[in-house]
């Protein structure tokens, strides 16, 4: 099914082709007539013919310039639409990523609560799952290494897990399906 916009565009292209052809024929005729009259007739007729020929050439130039501008504008609009679509897709992807992260963190908090972890144990477990070492966790939480080790051992015991790797695998296993 052809839309009315496509039909109008096709009609415009046909009419433009007809007008362009007519102007080319007029310009060619005027050039021939100008040459013929310039060699055998009066000067006033020659100047009139030259004016008509120049008008035909200027009309052709105007049509060409207008068509190039139209095409450039179409390309510019297409590029702008494409850029806007890409930007919107990136925004939607980022929003989806943020939502997935929030959901994952929420499921971690719920599981930590089911295991009855203290807030300090939750903080240590979260940092360990992010890949921080015991020393890095101690620095981030502004406490000693021994305190972090004690808080790290408790989630393993309460969850029935042996180590950090099993803790990470517990959550990532659900996420990765």
Q: What is the pLDDT of residues 91-125, one digit of tens each?
A: 999 999 999 889 888 988 999 999 999 999 999 99
pLDDT at 41 exceeding the cut of 70: no
In a domain, 29, yes or no: yes
Q: Give CA–CA dist 123/157, Å, rounded.
A: 16
CB neighbour burial string for 73-100, b if at least 16 within 10 angstroms, e if fewer = eeeeeeeeeeeeeeeeeeeeeeeeeeee
* Lookup: tokens for 87: 């930007």
Among 160, 111, 129, 119, which residue's Cα sits nearest to residue 137? 129
Segment 15-44 mean pLDDT: 71
**pLDDT attached to residue 118:** 92
Contacts within 8 Å (CB) and 24+ apart, 26-32: 26/52, 26/56, 27/53, 27/56, 27/57, 27/60, 30/56
pLDDT digits (tens, 9 = 90+) for 127-155: 988 889 999 999 999 999 899 998 988 88
In a domain, 3, yes or no: yes
**pLDDT attached to residue 44:** 60
In a domain, 102, yes or no: no
3-class SS of residue 113: helix
Number of domains in the chain: 2
Same domain, 120 and 72: no
In a domain, 96, yes or no: no
**pLDDT attached to residue 174:** 65
What are the C-alpha distances in Å from 163 to residues 130, 137, 156?
Answer: 14, 16, 6
Range of the domain at 72: 1-90
Higher pLDDT, 74 or 47: 74
Give the rounded percent of residues in the chain with a pLDDT score beyond 70.
Answer: 83
Host H or E run for residue 60? helix 43-114
For tokens 């966790």, name the residue: 137
3-class SS of residue 107: helix
**pLDDT attached to residue 76:** 92
Q: Give CA–CA dist 108/64, Å, rounded.
A: 66
């Amino acid at each position: 099914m052809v839309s009315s916009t496509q039909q109008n565009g096709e009609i415009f292209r046909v009419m433009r082709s007809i007008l362009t052809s007519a102007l080319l024929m007029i310009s060619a005729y005027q050039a021939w007539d100008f040459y013929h009259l310039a060699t055998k007739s009066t000067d006033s007729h020659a100047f009139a013919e030259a004016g008509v020929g120049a008008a035909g050439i200027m009309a052709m130039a105007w049509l060409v310039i207008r068509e190039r501008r139209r095409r450039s504008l179409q390309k510019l609009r297409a590029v702008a639409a494409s850029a806007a679509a890409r930007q919107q897709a990136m925004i939607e992807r980022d929003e989806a990523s943020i939502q997935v992260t929030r959901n994952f963190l929420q499921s971690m908090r719920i599981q930590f609560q089911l295991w009855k972890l203290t807030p300090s144990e939750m903080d240590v477990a979260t940092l360990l799952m992010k890949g921080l070492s015991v020393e890095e966790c101690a620095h981030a939480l502004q406490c000693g290494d021994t305190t972090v080790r004690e808080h790290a051992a408790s989630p393993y015991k309460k969850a029935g897990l042996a180590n950090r790797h099993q803790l990470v695998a517990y959550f990532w296993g659900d996420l990765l399906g």
